[in-house]
């Protein structure tokens, strides 16, 4: 039985025209896989009202979702801090269009039960489950028994207040962690491979992992996850193995092109945030990247890769990617070695073991430790 090639993409925001163009640089890498899993960051809707809480993201054009299919993306995680920014109708419109296009999805729904339900995808007679959780709030965007929102793991803030993206988040609530473990165990019964996507971490800061990140990711593995992927930071993080299973602590930007993060706009809260984050995180965006004004190191990117063999063995690694101005990801080419070194170095800085790398054909293959 041939290995199933699964590729893992970070945050996706396509709220500017011509989504096919912005995906075109990496689309050949994605279409070469048997399954691509990305993280859809914002709702895709023409309806809904802006929800107070986090700095709100605008809804993207639902027609843009078809570009994901054309680029080879077959499944998306939805649990994140912006998916509820246009209210329940934004979630409903997003899910309806994903369903129409045949893109599997997990992590958001019209109730908590729906949000916690895994997406199931079959490839070559084997079933892959995708579970998705928001760990950073805001809590207004979390699903409830009778209210649309995202699946979540509650992370306690050091000040005792509600979970929210810019809080000092320190440790997982035990009951919430147990609920995630129960979901994973149930998915394990329904699938041959379980992928858990965690929207987590500290945005815009190189290398650093918050105190809760490794314990939650490792708990997912201990509950039965085969692969854990992280996103939200908009900059890549290190990779580790726990019990032989890969944990990608941050895939960075899959493809993020948006005017919502630029100071040059009419929305007061978004304009204020674009300026405030420069002080909070200590960087000045490169003016060559007006559609992706992130930390200068965020140009170093990756697509996670899993080769899932017929005997159950998993090979893990990544394909180095670089973002060219004004924010289009492309294969790294001659920069690949430097990006691989970067991913290794930031992991070590965050307290992870050095990666055991070996040359793969077009990718960086890793040996578990």
pLDDT (tens digit per residue) in 128-144: 999 999 999 999 999 99
DSSP E strands, the chain? 4-14, 35-40, 75-77, 104-106, 108-109, 119-123, 126-134, 149-150, 155-157, 169-172, 193-199, 227-231, 239-242, 245-248, 253-257, 300-308, 314-324, 328-331, 356-359, 364-367
Mean pLDDT, rounded, for 20-48: 96
The gap from C-alpha 77 to its chain's centroid, in whole angstroms, comes to 7
Per-residue pLDDT at 274 exceeds 80:
no
pLDDT tens-digit map of 198-219: 999 999 999 999 999 999 999 9
Q: What pTM was estimated for this model as a whole?
A: 0.95
Which CATH number is 150's domain given? Answer: 3.60.21.10
User: How far is residue 260's CA from residue 252's CA, in Å, rounded to a whole number?
Assistant: 18
User: Between the CA of residue 297 and those of 236, 311, 314, 319, 328, what are the distances in Å?
Assistant: 9, 38, 29, 17, 15
Is residue 242 within 8 Å of 218, Cβ to Cβ? yes
Grade residue 305 by pLDDT with cuts at 50, 70 and 90. Answer: very high
Within 10 angstroms of residue 368's Cβ, the number of other Cβ atoms is 14
260 falls in which pLDDT band (50, 70, 90)?
A: low
CA atoms within 13 Å, Cβ hemisphere of 81 = 23
Residue 220's Cα: distance from chain center in Å? 16
Place 48 in a pLDDT band, splitting at 50, 70 and 90: low
Q: How many domains does the chain have?
A: 1
What's the confidence (pLDDT) of residue 44?
96
Band (pLDDT 50/70/90 cuts) for residue 346 is very high
Strand, helix or coil for residue 125? coil
* Alpha carbon separation from 185 to 33, 182, 190, 241, 358 (Å, rounded): 27, 5, 9, 20, 33
Enclosing domain of residue 354 = 4-367
Query: For position 90, what pLDDT does the model report?
Result: 95
Q: What is the mean pLDDT of residues 313-340?
A: 97
pLDDT, residue 284, reads: 80
């Amino acid at each position: 039985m041939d290995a199933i090639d699964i590729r893992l993409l970070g945050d996706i925001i396509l709220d500017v025209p011509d989504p096919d163009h912005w995906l075109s640089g990496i689309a050949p890498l994605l279409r070469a896989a048997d399954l691509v899993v990305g993280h859809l960051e914002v709702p895709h809707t023409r309806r809904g009202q802006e929800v107070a809480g986090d700095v709100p993201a605008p809804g993207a054009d639902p027609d843009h979702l078809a570009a994901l299919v054309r680029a080879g993306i077959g499944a998306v995680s939805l649990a994140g801090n912006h998916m509820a920014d246009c209210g329940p109708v934004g979630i409903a419109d997003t899910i309806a269009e994903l369903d129409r296009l045949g893109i599997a999805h997990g992590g958001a729904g019209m109730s908590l039960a729906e949000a916690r339900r895994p997406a199931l995808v079959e490839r070559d007679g084997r079933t892959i489950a995708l579970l998705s959780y928001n760990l950073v709030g805001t809590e207004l965007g979390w699903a409830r028994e009778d209210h649309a929102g995202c699946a979540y793991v509650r992370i306690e803030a050091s000040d005792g207040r509600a979970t929210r993206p810019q809080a000092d988040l320190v440790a997982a609530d035990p009951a919430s962690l147990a609920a995630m473990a129960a979901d994973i165990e149930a998915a394990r019964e329904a699938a041959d491979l379980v992928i858990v996507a965690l929207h987590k971490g500290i945005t815009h800061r190189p290398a650093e992992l918050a105190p809760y990140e490794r314990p939650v990711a490792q708990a997912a593995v201990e509950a039965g996850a085969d692969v854990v992927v992280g996103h939200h930071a908009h900059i890549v993080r290190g990779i580790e193995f726990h019990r032989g299973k890969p944990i990608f602590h941050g895939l960075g930007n899959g493809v993020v092109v948006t005017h919502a993060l630029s100071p040059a706009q009419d929305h007061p809260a978004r304009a204020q945030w674009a300026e405030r984050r420069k002080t909070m995180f200590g960087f000045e965006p490169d003016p060559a990247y007006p559609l992706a004004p992130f930390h200068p190191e965020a140009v170093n990117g990756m697509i996670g890769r899993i080769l899932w063999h017929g005997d159950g063995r998993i090979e893990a690694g990544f394909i180095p990617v670089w973002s060219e101005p004004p924010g289009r990801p492309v294969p790294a080419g001659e920069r690949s070695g430097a990006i691989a070194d970067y991913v290794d170095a930031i992991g070590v800085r965050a307290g992870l073991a050095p990666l055991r790398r070996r040359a793969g054909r077009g990718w960086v293959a890793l040996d578990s430790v």
